[in-house]
A and B are shown apart, each in its own frame.
Chain A
Amino acid sequence: MEINSLSFLTNELYLRQSELFGNDYKELENNSTYSFNELSISNLEEWQNSILQKYNSLNELQIENLQNLLFSLFKILETINPDKLKINDDLLTDENDLLLWRESYKGISKLFFNEYGNIVYVFNGNDGKKVRGVFNNDVDYEKLLYKFLSL
């Protein structure tokens, strides 16, 4: 598992779930780096920036699709099990596709952001199950995200 700013976010969201001490954890974050409520944005921004810096060959369509997906992720952050946020990033250098992927005991879920503005969702199950879908930028990002996070 790659350590990225999303990993820190996962931990922070987990700690904040405490009913009695969630606010203490929020305030500690506030005292250390960010202002209240901005932690999640900052972590997602940091992750996005690290992706853009690492893979500086991404074109505008890819960046826009990534931003849309992260915006949807931000919206649902506090409503999902933080464990589902263990997401890795990579670049397929031959095709210049940005790849976000996560692994579960069921298999590997992947989202490819290609240069033509498409997002390709692929799931390869350990039991041989395969799922594939190609979407353009009018896709319902939230639904796509849930699909990506559920398997």
Chain B
Amino acid sequence: MKTIVKYALVTLLVACIVFPTGAVFAASSGSSDGSAHVGNTAATVINPGLYDSADSVDTNNTSIDVWTEYHVNCTVTDDNTLNDLENVTYIIWEETYADEGSADSNVNHYTFRYVNDTDTWEEVGPDAAGDSHLVSGNCSDPADHAATSGTFKLAFKLHKTANYTALTTAWKIKIIAYDSDTSGSNQQLFFGVNFFVELTVDDSSHAWSSLNPGDTDVLIDTPADGKIDVTVTANAEFDLQAKGSGDLTKTGGGTPIGLGNVTIHKDTQGSSASLTESYADIGGLTGLSSGESQAHSLKLWIDVPLGTEHGTYTYTLDIQGVKA
């Protein structure tokens, strides 16, 4: 009997070892728990393109204009569906004075982002508060985020002071699609920026209100401070130039005052030069640095030849900024 018990115990022990206990319980409960873990796959960015605002002209590797809308289009894929994305980030920078990781700046570095959680586009910088470089109404993301790929469109414009570059490859665009675990990026787009200058004439008229024949080097008295103010924004070093429309002609006819009797300079009569009908540099206002809303002023003097008739004489003064 003891032998039988021993064999029975040994048989039970062997059975316990050979057959998994789960099978014993399963057999007793009649059901099975299971799990399947699906790993994260990295998002990818493909087919990037830089286009004009109508999406009709490929502007990659060309020079583009500041303060003008352009589009960055791309396809983002994620095998875990687009719902898995956290954001799609666009980094735009000019490589001469900045790199991908530089701080955002109107001059050379911009960051934009599509945020999946909130389904919104935002300007990370340089104007995070105002989004002045993001044309949010023309940005778009795929309608179906349950799909595994879709097209994203960033509509943006560069600031007026975005660095001018002669090379059409100096500015870079990098697109990065971040998902929950990792990210995929694509950097194939590049462009240059055309020279831009904005000139505001703060004093849009000028005059000498009381002159006599034989007067020389008389400074304008309108504006009252004797100088013409202008405000300039430019994305590269520039010169200010001026020209006259022609001789100062008398209302009602008569002998004009020659344009050469009017001289111009930033502030010094002794260094002033006569106006001509072709643009020429304004002394003291050349080689000016790039920047936004820079205040400059200039002065005009006149000689009145003897024999000049009494009357009112007019002409038009044109001012322009050119790349230095």
Interaction A to B: no
Interface residues of A (CB under 8 A from B): none
